Structure 1
Amino acid sequence: MLVPLAKKAGEIIGYEANKNTFDFVQMNLHLHTLNNVRAFNNAVGNETKKVRFIKIQ
């Protein structure tokens, strides 16, 4: 969903909390040469806390 939006928008700021998924997002942005997207490896919410992700193989 990010790639089609980025091609139409002026600038996109995105957040992805899961490090593994964030790495795929970064790779996808690079592959599509999307320079108008800033991605952050953080979560967005109303409280500060750490969360644990379960890795399913």
Structure 2
Amino acid sequence: MLYVNREKCEGCEACVAACGTGAAKIVDGKCQIDVNVCVECYACKEVCPFEAIEEKE
């Protein structure tokens, strides 16, 4: 499962642009991933310049 480290996230929206399912959104200036929509393609993780999107088992 992917999650956002809110301390690292700068709200740049790169993840939102890369997300093909619409699971990544900016909420209160930070990325938030809807785990019910996310298909774990890792596109958001790959484009995040702040390495804020991490994998959690």
Q: Same fold (TM over 0.5)?
A: no
Bigger strand share: 2
Structure whose alpha-carbon radius of gyration is higher: 1
Q: TM-score, normalised by structure 1?
A: 0.28
Flag the structure with more relative contact order, 1 or 2, with Cα contacts below 8 A and sequence separation at least 6: 2
Q: TM-score, normalised by structure 2?
A: 0.28
